[in-house]
Homo-oligomer: A and B are copies of this chain.
Amino acid sequence: MARILYVLGVLLVVLACAEIVPLLSDLLSGNPDWMVFAVSGVLTLFLGIAMVLANANHPERLTIREAYLLTALAWFILPVFGAAPFFFSREGIGITDAVFESVSGLTTTGSTVLTGLDTFPPGLLLWRSMLQWSGGIGIIVMGIAILPLLRVGGMQLMKTEASDTSDKVLPRAKEIATGIGSAYAALTFVCALAYGFAGMGSFDAINHAMTTMATGGFSTHDDSFGYFNEPILPWVAMIFMILGALPFVLYLKAVSRGPMRLLNNAQVRFFLLFCVAVIAVLTLWVWRTMPLSLFEAFSQSAFNAISIVTTTGYTNADYTLWGSASVVFLIITFAGGCSGSTAGSVKIFRYQLMLSFLKSQANRLIHPHGVFPVTYDKREVPSEIVLSVTAFLALYLVSWFGLSVALAFTGLGFQTSVSAAAAALTNVGPGLGPIVGPGGNFSSLSDVAKWMLAGGMLLGRLELFVLFVMVTPRFWREL
């Protein structure tokens, strides 16, 4: 346990240090809210340092079970401390709402229970965006370094890809982490500049750049992207949402080998083609059924579809009002970006694997004695990984259904329960309908529903199995 507590302590110290940014922001704008961050920061820092010092004599290595425990604990403890500034603020945010907002931030979900964002103190807005931004880098690192080790949901397939020795680009873990961190920071910086050039104020540009690259979707305005009138802004957002949903390892390869490396990846190609197909279908549909010009139909379809597919969750139109098209939005909620990105949800490589699997199964039905291997990126995939992915998908369904029923129990209607459960589990953010849809706000939900949804976000973010493994008796029996 010492090693676990040590690492958690380090994470808390980092979180505490991060609170200096919103503190300064409030202080410089003459806003007394800086005290909120001073108090939260000192509390967090104190506990973090205590944990680090008390466990300085930790063993070097973690067992597999300890790795599970550390991963799960980090995702439970950080949101609690991340919630402190909301709770201590003068905006009258209760403990449930504070934790919900913090979980939604760190998991890069982007559902919000806060209203009146436009008049919020800048520090608190910045804190929300920073939670998403740091959640984003945490997710990339977890996806590249931890989940493949834990062999969760077929992520071991990605292990071979990230540590692909034949490529030998930045072979060591530390260098990869530094490289990816730099790529993440650089892209965020470029994104903020682009937003600024496209007409956003600098504060909005910085906040939105952080939540765009994290594919999180928190905005500094109640109307999300609908607040901005500049027609070019959604297009800038689309580019960077997609960049946030591609495997970050590829950016390192792109730097050393040229940008074509990006398109030379099976997952990226499939993801982009999928986006094009969804946008084409939606555009034609919306154009035919709504009083919009073809270009309006295209730009609104493209922005909202990319926002959902990348699990960002910005919106600039209430697509729940697009009638039947809303079914498409529920379904693409389950798409997700590429693995090794900041995106949530099921993720594209699992669908590619399932397609190859279904094809091989169909062939085996015709030729009982034929051999039809499942392939990914032209390489044969061991059946162990196929089973791992199918188990993941099955558990995803069970979780979705379970969460839907639980939400319905709290008194929510059909569309709201089903879509809110999906939006939380996939870390997308907006669901369907007047309450949890693009035009709604999660604030009117009951406290019980909010805790359920926050639990769903964590469950989805931990790729289900990290949590489910921990509720098996075997996990604890032999710890």
- Could you tell me which A residues sit within 8 Å of B by CB distance? 64-65, 68, 150-152, 285, 289, 323-328, 330-331, 354, 357-359, 361-368, 383, 386-388, 390-391, 393-395, 397, 401, 404-405, 407-415, 417-418, 432, 465, 468-469, 472, 474-475, 478
A469→B409 CA distance, assembly (Å): 40
Q: Please pick, from B289, B357, B383, the residue contacting A394 in the complex, using a CB distance under 8 A.
A: B357
Which of A326, A391, A475 counts the most B-chain CB atoms under 10 A from its CB? A391
| CB contact between A362 and one of B364, B393, B401, B472 (< 8 Å): that residue | B472
User: Please, which residues of chain B bring their CB within 8 A of the CB of A410?
Assistant: 324
Q: How far is the CB of A312 from chain B (nearest CB, A)?
A: 22
**Which B residues touch A354, using CB under 8 A?**
394
* A324 engages B409 (CB within 8 Å): yes
A432 CB contacts on chain B under 8 angstroms: 414
The reply to whether A368 and B472 contact each other, CB–CB distance below 8 Å, is no
Establish whether residues A417 and B358, one from each chain, have CB atoms under 8 Å apart when the complex forms. Answer: no
Please determine whether A394 and B391 come into contact, CB atoms closer than 8 angstroms: no
Is the CB–CB distance between A388 and B414 below 8 Å? no
User: Which single residue of chain B is at the shortest CB-CB distance from A370?
Assistant: B474
Complex contact A405–B472 (CB within 8 A): no
CB distance from A471 to the nearest CB of B (A): 9
Most B CB atoms within 10 A — which of A359, A365, A393?
A365
Within the complex, what minimum Cβ distance (angstroms) separates A445 from chain B?
Answer: 13
Is A365 within 8 A of B413, CB to CB?
no
Nearest Cβ in chain B — how far from A194, in angstroms?
34
Q: Which residues of chain B come closer than 8 Å to A407, judged between CB atoms?
A: 324
Is the Cβ of B324 less than 8 Å from the Cβ of A472? no
Contacting A387 at CB < 8 Å: which of B64, B386, B414?
A: B386
Chain B contacts for A397, CB-based, 8 A: 393, 397
Given A358-B395, A432-B414, the answer on whether A408 and B327 have CB atoms closer than 8 Å is yes
Which residues does chain B contribute within 8 Å of A324, judged by CB atoms?
407-414, 417
Would you give the shortest CB distance from A478 to chain B, in whole angstroms? 8
**Nearest B residue (CB) for A329:** B414
Chain B nearest CB from A129 CB (Å) reads 32
Chain B residues closer than 8 Å to A474, beta-carbon distance: 362-363, 366-367
Is there contact, CB below 8 Å, between A328 and B362?
Answer: no
CA A408 to CA B325, docked complex, whole Å? 7
Instruction: For A367, list chain B residues within 8 Å (CB).
Output: 474
Chain B residues, Cβ within 8 Å of A409: 285, 324
A465 contacts B418, C-beta separation under 8 Å? no
Provide the bound-state CA to CA distance between A354 and B397, in Å. Answer: 12
Min CB distance A392 to B, Å, is 9
**A68 contacts which chain B residues (CB < 8 A)?**
365-366
Which of chain B's residues has its CB closest to A391's CB?
B361
9 closest residue pairs by CB, A with B: A324-B408, A390-B390, A327-B408, A361-B391, A365-B469, A362-B469, A331-B401, A362-B472, A354-B394
Q: A387-B383, A405-B331 are in contact. Are A475 and B366 (CB under 8 A)?
A: yes
**Which chain B positions have C-beta within 8 A of A468?**
358, 362
**Nearest CB on B from A353, distance (A):** 10
**Pairs A–B under 8 Å by Cβ, sample size 7:** A151-B364, A324-B410, A327-B404, A331-B404, A359-B472, A361-B388, A414-B432
